[in-house]
Structure 1
Amino acid sequence: MKGFYFPHCSLLDASKSKLSSWAWKSLHEGIELLRMGTRWNVSNGNDILIWQDKWVLDLLSKSLSPPPMDHDSPRLVKHFINFNNWNKLVWHFTKGSSYSVKSGYRMLMNSYSCSPFIGSSRADNNHSATWKKQWRLNAPPKIKNFIWRACRNVVATKENLSRRHHVQDAECHRCDEEVESLEHIIFFCPFAQAVCNLSLFEGVVSDPIHVWNAAFQCFIGYVNGLEDESTTIPNNVFAPSQWQSPPVEVIKINCDASYCSKGSFAGLAVVCRNSNGVIIDGASLLEKAASVHAAEAFAIRLAVQLARDKGWRHIIVESDNLALINCLKNSKAEGYWESWAIVEDINLSLFHSFSFSFIHRQGNRVTNWVAKKTRTRDCPLDWMHSPPDDLVGLLSNY
């Protein structure tokens, strides 16, 4: 397909013409969606245009606005960095950067929320109460979805498919009597009448005992499924809910971040304690961050940098962000794409004996307090040496 439709460019840069096939035109609609929701995760910067491509984390919805440039001005991101890794195109509406139909649908619905959207119940404000009742029906999701599609006449009947030139014959293949419209397949087709409701159309009443026996067998199967060891849900990841002191000659560094989405910044906090639980050092600062996951990664990086500057040799870095801890302990765990570059920077900064551990938020309350006060600019400069009463109360619980 590449050799025929886009031999000299990438898939996202491919175009369509009036002579393109129907299949390629249909695929191209999906390409437009991918263009809206993808961005570059930068490593070496090759092939990423500074002003045309989306690669700045804080500007996910648009590219940079280019200033006047001469012919000698740098045009590729690689001119600013020196990494020997491949760039990766990511879908920034999911955790792991991979496209999903659910995230694509949500993105399209959000983009159309400020304008009329033909074919959506959102555009029919006069019947909003009816739509709400329909979605609140005590029925399986697939039934409610079918009712919505039927009300909007977007079921893939032969009548609708022929209107879009997907099929030539619009007659019902069950009865070969009428056009396969929505009304026909639900109400008027003899096959549908025979399958859907024998009691209504032919007066056939099912035996209540037979119905009860069938329901009881389903219940027995459900109970057996619950008792089956293969269907049990694994226990939650074990982690202490209270702070625990490290071994002798080991320093434990707890870190946390408090994120403000309105200003895209976060308060970072690092608290360093010895085997006796005494605070021996720490740090707090405001950092620009594009997401809470990036902010948490910045806090861990701050902890690693502090340990390196102090020359400590045996370190335990502890955080309440399980996804980040898994990424740092296992290189195959992807985690959140917003923190990939920061995690890579952390791994490059590691030295001597470093280990990472996860702790529940309850056990990380001291660092969380410092991070919140830093974000609101209420944290005293000498909080390590003269901790406020609130912080003293938290420390006394450990």
Structure 2
Amino acid sequence: MVWHYSSNGTFSGRSAYHLALSRASSAGSSSMSTRSKVWRAIWQARVPNKTKVFSWRAIRNILPTAQNLQRRVALSNFRWFVIAAQFSSVEDWLSHLSAQLSATDFDLALMICWSIWWSRNLKSVGKDFLYPQQVIDFARSYLSAYNSYSSVPAHSPLGIQSVWLPPPPNCVKLNFDGAVLEEGRAIGVGVAARNSAGNLLAWRSLRLAQGGSALVAEAYAAREALKFAWHHRWPLVLIEGDCVSLLHRISAAHMDYSVVGPLVSDIKALVHKFESVSFLYVRRSGNCVADFLARLALNLDGDVASLPPGLHNVLIGDLAK
């Protein structure tokens, strides 16, 4: 199957976006100019992709809100609040914000909107939620962390983060790394989960019998990090590694038909289970704990249960940097 609206014949969100704009424009929509501006502002915002998707769904009124769900099924304890406002729609409101705010403040506004949505979802399932000021503080810290980390370098890793940095509050960062035994006879997987204080929450050091290249080992490690996070029910996670090639493959919209393709597909499928997942790139010097655990696994048989000697010193070294 070929997508005829991109140069390489592969479907992408960007090509679909431009196709939708061109078709709406040719249809003579009176609101096309405004819609184009607000969509462009959202597309160019320096926020996580999930926040852009959330904003787009809010504009289209296709978020699974109680009001929208009530149209499909009868909900018990259904309530909604009507708020008087000068804007007739979310699109008009976001258009106003994009015109009045600086790019940085508009990014923060989108992040706050997503954070409110995320917090309300937690409340709807009986979990702890954030109060208004906590929502704003969380949005600021999350956006700051997102912009501080470079998720995937486009070409050279020069100037990219080279030390381990803690995640924002209420978020867990999982560093992963893979190692290969000589002649590719086995793979070692290392995963370390830490919170905003730098405390080690959990870790994994696992030897896999199958062989493979360094890229395959990294893919197994990334998949293990997501499975590990899902096992612990952490809804908001950052997955950080030092393999540029793998991170590019994970972020790509098209199918990967290489030897790591099935693993990349598994990783993308696991991502959808979480409230929020972001992939980050760090130099090897900032991935020491996961590297230690991956290499440790090569000298062991199976999983490691007790805290290995030397791990504490590596953790202290990360924080000292």
Range of TM-score over shorter length:
0.3 to 0.5
In the superposition, the TM-score normalised over structure 1's length comes to 0.38
* Greater C-alpha Rg: 1
Higher RCO, 1 or 2 (CA under 8 Å, sep at least 6)?
2
Could you say which structure has the higher helix fraction?
Answer: 2
